[in-house]
Amino acid sequence: MKIERIELRGLELPLLQPFETSFGRTDLKRFLVLRVSADGLDGYGECVADPDPYYLPETNGTVHHVLRDFLVPLLLGLDLGHPRELWPAFGRVRGHEMAKACLEMAVWDLWARRAGLALHALLGGRSGRVQAGVSIGLQASPAALVERVAVEAAAGYRRVKIKIKPGHDIELVAAVRARFPELPLMVDANSAYTLDDVEHLRRLDEFGLTMIEQPLAWDDLVDHARLQRELRTPVCLDESIRSAADARRALDIGACRVVNVKVGRIGGFQSLIELHALCLARGVPLWCGGMLESGIGRLANVHLQTLPGFSLPGDTSASSRVFAEDLIDPPVTVDPDGTIAVPDGPGLGHAIVWPRVERVTRFVESWP
Ligand code: OSB
Ligand code: MG
């Protein structure tokens, strides 16, 4: 297959509620979407980069640059026998995982549609349902957080994650635990602590958390290994794992006991397939993170969680928690039993509502 046309759009979607983490606060999602075309069909990819480099180094600007100047010309010169060939073909470009992943995702979607397969089938997954979990941002007060947790628990989510940062941690966990003693609960620090906080973080051990996500630096493995030796609570890595090789190194030195995977953070589906095989072989629990994706990226997350190594509920929640109107129809919904139906139609499996995409488009660029 030769890709004939690639279109990049910059979109803006307001969030229903501001989302606050240790690294910042946002109430408008500004992101890139790609459409690739061949043989009269289109495939779609959503990029997880933000306008700023506060989660990881890539931004919408760096993704745009790397796509336009390197990855798009490379893809337009290929005759693909399978989308798995893209990951090694992109190998000469170091880093820029988010840029690689969104272009690769669009090609996998197009390939699946052309083959009449659901994306999960092309990835080696199954149909059926996946377990939903939810990530709750920092709130104005512990009481407000407990109320948010109550709403999500009542909606059926099988695991709740709350964001923490220094000065807003132990008392938040204590407040949620006091009201929900049995709820599967975890925390995510987005790199807000250092090894000086080991004694403080040890206080989390008494709350029976399923894990603590990315407590230390975004690019660290060694200090996390030291911290994990001091904690009973399992450490889960997010930011620090940007490839299957990173996951292997992290597991080899005991930097984590659980892995959060985001396809945009590790460079795409082929990289995911390799990381997934590693975790499955080593019996390491794996779950799918989220980046407040619109329906395009959200559906991709639903499909990939059908691979057998995804043993824990992830961060994929209902579209309606995040956006007043998603770009897909139907949106992603969560049943009262806390599960999401996996679409069986070709590719991502739900229609992309093009007039909505156009309404929220701020710029378009296309190649050739
Ligand atoms: O660390 O998992 C994270 C959102 C943006 C950036 C980083 C993270 C998150 C989330 C939200 O936790 C998960 C979601 O609902 O998509
Ligand atoms: Mg995280």
Task: Please report the pLDDT score of residue 17 as a whole number.
Answer: 96
The alpha carbon of 289 and the centre of ligand 1 are apart by a number of angstroms equal to 7
Strand pairing of 351-352 and 129-131? unpaired
The alpha carbon of 220 and the centre of ligand 1 are apart by a number of angstroms equal to 19
For 56, the 3-state DSSP assignment is coil
Split at pLDDT 50, 70, 90, the class of 143 is very high
pLDDT digits (tens, 9 = 90+) for 338-352: 999 999 999 999 999
Q: Does the beta carbon of 270 sit less than 6 angstroms from any atom of ligand 1? A: no
Across 215-237, average pLDDT: 98
Helix (H) or strand (E) holding 131: strand 129-131
Task: Please report the pLDDT score of residue 295 as a whole number.
Answer: 98
Q: Does the beta carbon of 292 sit less than 6 angstroms from any atom of ligand 1? A: yes
Tokens of 39: 């043989």
Task: Please report the pLDDT score of residue 287 as a whole number.
Answer: 98
- Residue 339's Cβ-count burial label (10 Å; 0-12, 13-18, 19+) is middle
Query: Who's near 160: CB < 8 A, 6+ residues apart?
Result: 133, 134, 136, 149, 152, 153, 176, 180, 183, 184, 185, 186
The alpha carbon of 85 and the centre of ligand 1 are apart by a number of angstroms equal to 29
Cα gap 31→290, rounded to integer Å: 14
Mean pLDDT, all residues of the chain: 98
Is 100 noted as a catalytic residue in this protein? no
Task: Please report the pLDDT score of residue 345 as a whole number.
Answer: 97
Task: Please report the pLDDT score of residue 170 as a whole number.
Answer: 98
Write the single-letter amino acid at 15: L
For the CA of 188, the nearest atom of ligand 1:
1
Q: Annotated catalytic residue: which of 29, 161, 163, 165?
A: 163
Across 54-77, average pLDDT: 98
Beta bridge partners of 186: 161
Task: Please report the pLDDT score of residue 25 as a whole number.
Answer: 97
User: pTM here?
Assistant: 0.97
Write the single-letter amino acid at 59: T
Give DSSP secondary structure letters for 226-293: HHHHH-SSPEEESTT--SHHHHHHHHHTTS-SEEEE-TTTTTSHHHHHHHHHHHHHHT--EEE-----
Strand pairing of 134-136 and 328-329? unpaired
pLDDT digits (tens, 9 = 90+) for 234-277: 999 999 999 999 999 999 999 999 999 999 999 999 999 999 99
The alpha carbon of 190 and the centre of ligand 2 are apart by a number of angstroms equal to 6
Split at pLDDT 50, 70, 90, the class of 190 is very high
Split at pLDDT 50, 70, 90, the class of 179 is very high
For the CA of 317, the nearest atom of ligand 1:
15
Split at pLDDT 50, 70, 90, the class of 310 is very high
Split at pLDDT 50, 70, 90, the class of 123 is very high
Best residue among 19, 47, 261 to mutate for probing ligand 1's pocket (most ligand atoms within 8 Å of CB) is: 19
Strand pairing of 129-131 and 339-341? antiparallel
Is 2 noted as a catalytic residue in this protein? no
Task: Please report the pLDDT score of residue 141 as a whole number.
Answer: 96
